[in-house]
Chain A
Amino acid sequence: MLKIENLHAEIDGKEILKGLSLEIGAGEIHAVMGPNGAGKSTLAYVLGGRAGYEVTKGSVSFAGEDLLAMDPHERAAAGLFLGFQYPVEIPGVSNIQFLRSAVNAQRKARGDEELSAGDFLKLAREQAAALKMDAEMLKRPVNVGFSGGEKKRNEMVQMGIIDPTLAILDETDSGLDIDALRTVGDGINTIMRKADKGVLLITHYQRLLDVVKPDFVHVLAAGRIVKTGGPELALQLESEGYEAIAEAA
Chain B
Amino acid sequence: MTELATLPTWRDEAWRYADFDALKAVWPDIAGQREAISVAPGETERRTIVLETADPNVAVKTLAVTIGKGARFDLHCLAIAADYGRIAVEVVLEEGAHFELGGAILGMGSQTLEIVTEVRHEHPNATSNQVVRSVLGGRATGSFLGKVAVARHAQKTDAAQSVKAMLLDRTATANAKPELEIFADDVKCAHGATVGELDKAALFYMASRGIPPGEARRLMMQAFIADAFVSMADDAEREAMEAKALAALEAMQ
A: residues with CB less than 8 A from B are: 48-51, 71-73, 75-77, 81-82, 84, 87-93, 97-99, 101-103, 105-106, 109, 141, 158, 162
A10 to chain B, nearest CB (A): 18
The one of B199, B207, B222, B224 that contacts A72, using a Cβ cutoff of 8 Å: B207
- Judged by a CB distance under 8 angstroms, whether B219 is at the interface is yes
* B209 and A99 within 8 A (CB): yes
* A106 and B210 within 8 A (CB): yes
Separation of A14 and B206 alpha carbons in the complex (Å): 27
Interface size for B (C-beta < 8 A) is 23
* B209 and A48 within 8 A (CB): no
Which of chain A's residues have a CB closer than 8 A to the CB of B204?
48, 50-51, 72, 88
Given A50-B204, A98-B219, A105-B215, A92:B209 Cβ within 8 A: no
Nearest chain B residue, comparing its CB with the CB of A161: B209
- Judged by a CB distance under 8 angstroms, whether B205 is at the interface is yes
* B200 and A98 within 8 A (CB): no
Separation of A156 and B224 alpha carbons in the complex (Å): 27
Which of chain B's residues have a CB closer than 8 A to the CB of A89?
202
The one of A51, A72, A87, A97 that contacts B219, using a Cβ cutoff of 8 Å: A97
Question: Which of A48, A50, A73, A158 lies at the interface centre, i.e. has the most chain B CB atoms within 10 A of its CB?
Answer: A73
Separation of A72 and B204 alpha carbons in the complex (Å): 8
A29 to chain B, nearest CB (A): 20
Separation of A91 and B226 alpha carbons in the complex (Å): 11
* A76 and B207 within 8 A (CB): yes
Separation of A183 and B219 alpha carbons in the complex (Å): 31
Separation of A158 and B210 alpha carbons in the complex (Å): 12
**Can you report 25 A-B residue pairs in the complex whose CB atoms are below 8 A from each other?**
A48-B208, A51-B204, A72-B204, A72-B207, A73-B206, A73-B207, A73-B208, A76-B207, A76-B210, A82-B208, A84-B208, A87-B205, A88-B199, A88-B201, A89-B202, A91-B223, A92-B220, A92-B223, A93-B220, A97-B219, A101-B211, A102-B210, A105-B211, A105-B212, A158-B209
* A92 and B200 within 8 A (CB): no
* B224 and A92 within 8 A (CB): yes
B245 to chain A, nearest CB (A): 13
B216 to chain A, nearest CB (A): 8
Separation of A84 and B204 alpha carbons in the complex (Å): 11
Interface of B is mostly: helix
Which of chain A's residues have a CB closer than 8 A to the CB of B206?
73, 90, 98, 101-102
Question: Which of B201, B212, B227 lies at the interface centre, i.e. has the most chain A CB atoms within 10 A of its CB?
Answer: B212
* B215 and A76 within 8 A (CB): no
Separation of A106 and B211 alpha carbons in the complex (Å): 7
Nearest chain B residue, comparing its CB with the CB of A101: B211
Which of chain B's residues have a CB closer than 8 A to the CB of A72?
204, 207-208
A79 to chain B, nearest CB (A): 10
Please list the 10 inter-chain residue pairs (A to B) with the smallest Cβ-Cβ separation, ordered nearest first. Answer: A92-B223, A76-B210, A72-B207, A102-B209, A106-B210, A88-B205, A73-B207, A82-B208, A93-B223, A102-B210
* A102 and B211 within 8 A (CB): yes
A75 to chain B, nearest CB (A): 8
Further pairs besides A88-B201, A89-B202: 15, Cβ < 8 Å: A72-B207, A73-B212, A73-B213, A76-B209, A84-B208, A87-B205, A90-B206, A90-B220, A93-B219, A93-B223, A98-B206, A98-B209, A98-B219, A105-B215, A109-B210
Q: Which of B141-186 contact A (CB under 8 A)?
A: none
Separation of A88 and B210 alpha carbons in the complex (Å): 15
The one of B202, B212, B213, B224 that contacts A88, using a Cβ cutoff of 8 Å: B202
Which of chain B's residues have a CB closer than 8 A to the CB of A77?
210
A245 to chain B, nearest CB (A): 31
Separation of A89 and B202 alpha carbons in the complex (Å): 7
Separation of A109 and B211 alpha carbons in the complex (Å): 10
Separation of A77 and B215 alpha carbons in the complex (Å): 15
Which of chain B's residues have a CB closer than 8 A to the CB of A102?
206, 209-211
Separation of A73 and B210 alpha carbons in the complex (Å): 4
Q: Which of B68-127 contact A (CB under 8 A)?
A: none
Separation of A105 and B205 alpha carbons in the complex (Å): 14
Which of chain B's residues have a CB closer than 8 A to the CB of A90?
199, 202, 205-206, 220, 223
Which of chain A's residues have a CB closer than 8 A to the CB of B208?
48-49, 72-73, 75-76, 81-82, 84
Separation of A102 and B220 alpha carbons in the complex (Å): 14
